[in-house]
Amino acid sequence: MGETAILAGGCFWGMESRFQRLAGVLDTEVGYTGGFLEDPTYRQVCQDITGHVEAVKVDYDPAVINYRAILEAFFSFHDPTLCRDNCTSQSSQYGSIIFPLNEEQKLIARAVLDEISASGEYDCAVDTIIQPATMFYPAEEYHQDYYKKHHLEDLDDLTC
């Protein structure tokens, strides 16, 4: 039986494409979460009127990849700081957020975030937050599997 992770780290197209390449990932879906408006549209999220971020729901096989490894991949897929002109610094819908779905995920998320923050890997402070999961609203169909649909899988910069 699979498990699910919900993560936001910049544009959801590139984040989804990278997660799709991980062994043990069963399925992905891009969408919106963390806001206050029911069933938001892409246009509303981009206008910063819903409080949502672009996120990826990752269904994975815990016998192949665990939640910690999903989070470690997440941090390797984007710049979780605001010190450079990166995706997360351009717009509120591109925040770096971990949305744990249960207490175990919350504890693992806190441990990984603390390790990443203390690692010295980044010139600036890590800006990633841990926020309780709320309703996840799937994005419009044209956003799903965007990189596959447009044959962009080989791009190096997949998150902007």
Shortest CA distance to 50 belongs to which of 25, 31, 26? 31
Instruction: Point out the residues that are catalytic.
Output: 11
Answer yes or no: are the C-beta atoms of 4 and 57 closer than 8 Å: yes
Angle, CA 24 vertex, CA 19 and CA 29 arms, to 5°: 40
Angle, CA 95 vertex, CA 43 and CA 92 arms, to 5°: 45
**CA 49 to CA 40: how far, in whole Å?**
9
Helix (H, G, I), strand (E, B) or coil at 129: strand
Helix (H, G, I), strand (E, B) or coil at 45: helix
